[in-house]
Amino acid sequence: MFDNTEHTNISKLGEFGLIDHISKSFEVKNPKVIKGIGDDAAVIDLGDSFMLVSTDMLTEGVHFDMVYTPLKHLGYKAVTVNLSDIYAMNGNPAYITVSIALSSKFTLEAVEEIYEGIKLACENYKVDLVGGDTVSSNLGMTISVTAVGYVDKKSVAYRSGAKEFDLICVSGDLGAAYLGLQLLEREKALFKENPNLQPDLQGYDYLLERQLKPEPRKDIVRLLHDNGVVPTSMIDISDGLSSELLHICKESNVGCDIYIEKIPVDHLTTTAAELFNIDGTTCALNGGEDYELLFTVKQSDFEIVKKLKGISIIGHITGDKMNARLINQANEATSITAFGWDAFKAN
Ligand code: ADP
Ligand code: MG
């Protein structure tokens, strides 16, 4: 199947290069597969609607750190990050399966706590846990969740649907989850130096919640639906705004102009960013795990969308293929490159 004879380090390809490499060897044979690898969820034709399928995995030491991750939050997050991919197709999730690998350090009570979080997410987002797998692990924990959902054929939103002149929108605000992580890492480092220190995280609840307990934007999918707006393209923001904009541009074969001052950043994010000598907007562009929605709409939807609470219009799609530009207040443009999360890139 693969005719490599060398020993290629995965970091040479990066996460997306590796996925491309794998997907090239798999041709879709079943005509019901409308979209296979390459979007937030796979799309399967059910006749009168589409079924959506998406998987995401969280690994101890990479995606979460036991030192500061409450187990209930971990279970909740493992589910909600998956639901986010179903909403990113403009769909609604219905079922999940949960697979968990556990090392012997975890007690029954620990597993119960994880499942408390999973249950809460199921209740909040009205999905059913319908299966999974339980295995032992030599080192740490891994949780993998698969979400299944549905979408009307007329409403499905792919990464590939953006057209020149479409407006680019994001929900909520960006960069907070990244700063939540920086704060937790800072406290962990201080604690290592002096275990008697009490964590000093007062006033940062919002940022910590954004990191530890992300909520997918079911409400935005509903809001757009209720206002008769079907996004021309959509993706959820898991790896930073820059990275997701480049996915939309690549898959839609377009470019984009983004106006820096329009990127929504909460004042708590801006203030916390100063602590780390970074710019809040840089966190929005290159941080990750915000789980907001990035989407495009037709110009003709402008009057409706501009009135919708919780949605910011940050730029527009251009015909300049693959040229994603960031425009500052002096009207100077720089190219957007993705510094966001890429599982295997050597940084
Ligand atoms: P997201 O950030 O929305 O979860 P990813 O970047 O993880 O999306 O994945 C992009 C696409 O690649 C998705 O369609 C996903 O199903 C697919 N994919 C990721 N890893 C693999 C793999 N190991 N084998 C097959 N498909 C994969
Ligand atoms: Mg996604």
**DSSP notation for 189-249:** HHHHH-TTPPP--TT-HHHHHHHHS----HHHHHHHHHTT---SEEEEESS-HHHHHHHHH
**Whose Cα sits closest to atom 19 in ligand 1?**
19
Q: Is the CB of 85 under 6 A from ligand 1?
A: yes
Say what the pLDDT of residue 120 is. Answer: 98
Per-residue confidence band for 340, with pLDDT thresholds at 50, 70 and 90: low
Q: What is the per-residue pLDDT across 72-123, written as a single tens digit (0 to 9) for each?
A: 999 999 999 999 999 999 999 999 999 999 999 999 999 999 999 999 999 9
Q: Helix crossing, 205-212 with 267-275: angle to 10°?
A: 90
- The stretch 239-247 carries a mean pLDDT of 96
Per-residue confidence band for 347, with pLDDT thresholds at 50, 70 and 90: very low
Largest alpha-carbon pair distance within the chain?
A: 62
Which atom in ligand 1 lies closest to the alpha carbon of residue 42? Answer: 14
Per-residue confidence band for 344, with pLDDT thresholds at 50, 70 and 90: low
Going from N- to C-terminal start, the domains of the chain cover 52-152, 167-335
Positive or negative, the CA dihedral 13, 15, 16, 21 is positive
**How far from each other are the two terminal CA atoms of the chain, in whole angstroms?**
30
185 CB-near residues (< 8 Å, 6+ apart): none
Say what the pLDDT of residue 178 is. Answer: 97
112 in Cβ contact with 74 (< 8 Å): no
Say what the pLDDT of residue 346 is. Answer: 52
- The C-alpha atoms of residue 13 and residue 18 are separated, in whole angstroms, by 6
Per-residue confidence band for 328, with pLDDT thresholds at 50, 70 and 90: very high
Q: Is the pLDDT of residue 294 over 60?
A: yes
Domain spanning 52-152: which CATH class is it, in words? alpha beta
Say what the pLDDT of residue 194 is. Answer: 84
What single string gives the DSSP state of each residue in 138-168? Answer: SSS-EEEEEEEEEE-TTT---TT---TTPEE
Report the range of poorest mean pLDDT among 13-22, 25-34, 75-84: 13-22
Q: Is the pLDDT of residue 192 over 90?
A: no
What is residue 339's three-state secondary structure?
A: coil
Residue 122: which H helix or E strand, with range? Answer: helix 108-124
Size of the chain, expressed as the number of residues it contains: 347
Q: Is the pLDDT of residue 12 over 90?
A: no
- The stretch 220-229 carries a mean pLDDT of 98
Positive or negative, the CA dihedral 243, 247, 248, 252 is positive
Q: Is the pLDDT of residue 202 over 90?
A: no
The DSSP 8-state label assigned to residue 169 in this structure reads E
**Whose Cα sits closest to atom 11 in ligand 1?**
38
The DSSP 8-state label assigned to residue 330 in this structure reads T
- Percent pLDDT > 90 in the chain is 85
> What is the fold of 167-335?
Phosphoribosyl-aminoimidazole Synthetase; Chain A, domain 2 (3.90.650)
Q: Determine the distance separating the centroid of ligand 1 and the alpha carbon of 217, expressed in angstroms.
A: 20
Q: Is the CB of 215 under 6 A from ligand 1?
A: no
Q: Tokens standing for 167?
A: 């407006």
- The stretch 157-171 carries a mean pLDDT of 98
> Which listed ligand is nearest to 145 at the C-alpha?
1
Buried b (16+ CB within 10 A) or exposed e, 277-293: ebebbbbbbbbbbbbbb
Q: Tokens standing for 299?
A: 């110009």
- The stretch 48-58 carries a mean pLDDT of 98
61 CB-near residues (< 8 Å, 6+ apart): 140
- The stretch 263-292 carries a mean pLDDT of 96
Closest CA to 260 of 171, 319, 336: 336
Q: Is the CB of 33 under 6 A from ligand 1?
A: no
Q: Is the pLDDT of residue 196 over 90?
A: no
What is residue 62's three-state secondary structure?
A: coil
Q: What is the per-residue pLDDT across 109-162, written as a single tens digit (0 to 9) for each?
A: 999 999 999 999 999 999 999 999 999 999 999 999 999 999 999 999 999 999
What is residue 277's three-state secondary structure?
A: coil
Say what the pLDDT of residue 341 is. Answer: 58
**Whose Cα sits closest to atom 21 in ligand 1?**
19
Query: Mutation test of ligand 1: which of 33, 37, 146, 342 has the most ligand atoms closer than 8 Å to its C-beta?
Result: 37
**Whose Cα sits closest to atom 2 in ligand 1?**
238
Q: Is the pLDDT of residue 225 over 60?
A: yes
Closest CA to 81 of 131, 38, 35, 117: 117
How does the average pLDDT of the chain come out, rounded?
94
Cα-trace Rg, the chain: 20
Q: Is the CB of 289 under 6 A from ligand 1?
A: no
Say what the pLDDT of residue 122 is. Answer: 98
Residue 21: which H helix or E strand, with range? Answer: helix 14-23
341 in Cβ contact with 290 (< 8 Å): no
Which atom in ligand 1 lies closest to the alpha carbon of residue 81? Answer: 4
- Reported pTM: 0.95
Report the range of poorest mean pLDDT among 5-19, 33-47, 70-84, 115-129: 5-19
172 CB-near residues (< 8 Å, 6+ apart): 217, 264, 290, 292, 310
